[in-house]
């Protein structure tokens, strides 16, 4: 039996409170050079609907991430398409 350990990150909110998130996936867009990350809160109950958060990110030399909100409809569409693709793949496994 093998346990797959998911990557986790801490994301501060506007008030500076830190929240722990589990990384669902990351992907890069070659055309724009942008990188995206989708995360879910670790602290949610089993019966809650999963709330997915997505950000554009940049990584520095120290491997720290700087997160940026996704503001354009085109970026949201791209992230949603990737999420739907990955969800479909999980269902067929």
Per residue in 48-64, pLDDT tens? 777 889 999 998 888 78
Host H or E run for residue 8: strand 8-12
Phi-psi region for residue 85, left (φ > 0), alpha (ψ -120 to 50) or beta?
Answer: alpha
pLDDT of residue 5: 63
Bridge partner list, 77: none
What predicted TM-score, i.e. pTM, was given to this entire model? Answer: 0.78
Domain boundaries along the sequence of the chain: 8-92
Return contacts of 53-58, CB within 8 angstroms, 24+ apart: 53/11, 53/21, 54/79, 54/83, 57/26
Task: Tell me: pLDDT of 73 over 90.
Answer: yes
């Amino acid at each position: 039996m093998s346990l797959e350990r998911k990557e986790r990150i801490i994301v501060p909110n506007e008030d500076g409170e830190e929240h722990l998130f589990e990384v669902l996936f990351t992907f890069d867009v070659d055309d724009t050079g942008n990188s995206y990350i989708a995360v879910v809160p670790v602290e949610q109950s089993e019966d809650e609907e999963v709330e997915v958060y997505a950000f554009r990110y940049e990584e520095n030399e120290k491997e720290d991430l700087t997160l940026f909100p996704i503001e354009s409809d085109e970026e949201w569409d791209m992230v949603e398409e990737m999420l739907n693709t990955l969800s479909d793949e999980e269902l067929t496994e």
